[in-house]
C-alpha cells in the first residue's frame, strides 16, 4: 500500500497550497505551456497549464478537486507519458518519497522538453530547525535518512538553479516547518498527520519530545528562548526551488 494511502486521509484539510510558495513555484516554471505534475497529491500547487498529474496514492487522487487536470495512478520512476510530451516536469514536496531518484529524474528528462522544477529542502538546514534540533532529534534522523540531499539532486540534474523560499509565519500549507512561529500547532495530532516525518519516526521519541515542547510553551520557556522568531514575518528554514533547463 502506498504510504499516503495510510497517512493522506486528512491531507486536504491541513495541507492547503500557500499562495506565496505557489508564486515561487510559478516563477521557477517560467513561461511553459504544458506541465506534468509528479507526486501531485491532492493537487496543491498544480499550475493551470498542467495536462496530466501523476500520483501513486488513491487516497490522494480521491481528494483532487472537481475540474482538476486528468490524473494517472503511477510513479515518477515510470511516467505514463510519451517522450517530449510536455514543456515542463514539476515535482513539489515529493522527491523524498521516490524509491529511485535517478530513475525519476531520467523520466522527467524523457517526457519534458524544456524544464524540470522541484520544490524541496536542504536536509542539513532543516535539521537545524528548532523543532527537530531541540525537541525531536529522532525526527531529524528520519529526515536525514529519507530526504534527498541537494548535492545529490543537483549532481543528477546538472546545471540547476537553487532559489531559497522563505516560509511565511502564517503559512497555510502545514508541512513540517510551516509552524516555525506557531509552536502549539505541533501539539495537534491532525496537524502532525499531514507531515510524513512524524509517521516515519519512533512514536515514543515523538511523544517524549512533544511533551517537552508542551511544557516549554506552557511555562513560557519557548517564547523566552525564541524572541527573534517572534519578530520575523518569514523564515529561511531551508526550503527552495531547484530548476534546470533541459
Ligand atoms: C507531501 S505529498 C506532496 C503532494 C503535492 N505535490 C503537494 O505539494 O501537496 C508527497 C506525494 O508524493 C507521492 N509519492 C510517493 N511516492 C511517489 C513516487 N515514487 N512517485 C511519485 N509520487 C510519489 C505521495 O503519494 C504524495 O502524494
Query: Per-residue pLDDT for 82 more than 90?
Result: yes
Residues composing the chain: 246
Rounded mean pLDDT, 151-169: 96
Output the residue whose Cα is nearest ligand 1's atom 23.
Answer: 39
Rounded mean pLDDT, 36-59: 97
Atom of ligand 1 nearest to the CA of 173: 9
Output the residue whose Cα is nearest ligand 1's atom 17.
Answer: 98
CATH tag, 3-245: 3.40.50.150
Q: How far is the CA of 197 from the centre of ligand 1 (A)?
A: 13
Q: How far is the CA of 41 from the centre of ligand 1 (A)?
A: 5
Query: Per-residue pLDDT for 1 more than 80?
Result: no
Say how far apart CA 120 and CA 10 lie, in whole Å.
21
Name the pairing type of β-strands 161-164 and 112-121: unpaired
Name the pairing type of β-strands 71-72 and 86-92: unpaired
Q: Is residue 173 in contact with ligand 1, taking CB distance under 6 Å?
A: no
Q: How far is the CA of 75 from the centre of ligand 1 (A)?
A: 9
Q: What is the pTM of this model?
A: 0.94
Atom of ligand 1 nearest to the CA of 5: 25
Q: Is residue 95 in contact with ligand 1, taking CB distance under 6 Å?
A: no
> Which one of 97, 98, 108, 178 would you pick to mutate in the ligand 1 pocket, going by the greatest count of ligand atoms within 8 A of its CB?
97
For residue 102, the tally of other CB atoms under 10 A from its CB is 12
Say how far apart CA 84 and CA 174 lie, in whole Å.
34
Chain-wide mean pLDDT for the chain? 95
Closest CA to 32 of 52, 55, 54, 48: 48
Name the percent of the chain lying above pLDDT 90.
90
- 3-state DSSP assignment of residue 41: coil
Domains of the chain by residue range: 3-245
Contact criterion met (CB below 8 Å) for 177 and 167: yes
Q: What is the pLDDT of residue 7?
A: 84
Amino acid at each position: 500500500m502506498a504510504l499516503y494511502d495510510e497517512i493522506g486521509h486528512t491531507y486536504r484539510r491541513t495541507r492547503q497550497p500557500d499562495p506565496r510558495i505557489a508564486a515561487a513555484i510559478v516563477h521557477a516554471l517560467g513561461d511553459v505551456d504544458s506541465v506534468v505534475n509528479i507526486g501531485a497529491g491532492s493537487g496543491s500547487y498544480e499550475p493551470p497549464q498542467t495536462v496530466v498529474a501523476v500520483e501513486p496514492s488513491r487516497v490522494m487522487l480521491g481528494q483532487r478537486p472537481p475540474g482538476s487536470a486528468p490524473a494517472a495512478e503511477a510513479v515518477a520512476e515510470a511516467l505514463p507519458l510519451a517522450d517530449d510530451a510536455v514543456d515542463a516536469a514539476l515535482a513539489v514536496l515529493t522527491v523524498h518519497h521516490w524509491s529511485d531518484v535517478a530513475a525519476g529524474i531520467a523520466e522527467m528528462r524523457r517526457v519534458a522538453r524544456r524544464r524540470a522544477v522541484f520544490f524541496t529542502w536542504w536536509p542539513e538546514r532543516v535539521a537545524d530547525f528548532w523543532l527537530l534540533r531541540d525537541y525531536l532529534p529522532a525526527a531529524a534522523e528520519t529526515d536525514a535518512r529519507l530526504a534527498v540531499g541537494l548535492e545529490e539532486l543537483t549532481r543528477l540534474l546538472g546545471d540547476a538553479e537553487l532559489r531559497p523560499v522563505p516560509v511565511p509565519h502564517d503559512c497555510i500549507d502545514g508541512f513540517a516547518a510551516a509552524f516555525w512561529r506557531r509552536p502549539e500547532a505541533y501539539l495537534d495530532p491532525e496537524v502532525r498527520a499531514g507531515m510524513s516525518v512524524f509517521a516515519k519516526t519512533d512514536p515514543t521519541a515523538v511523544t517524549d519530545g512533544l511533551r517537552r515542547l508542551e511544557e516549554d510553551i506552557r511555562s513560557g520557556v519557548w517564547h523566552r528562548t525564541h524572541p527573534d522568531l517572534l519578530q520575523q514575518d518569514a523564515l529561511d528554514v531551508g526550503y527552495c526551488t531547484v530548476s534546470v533547463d533541459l
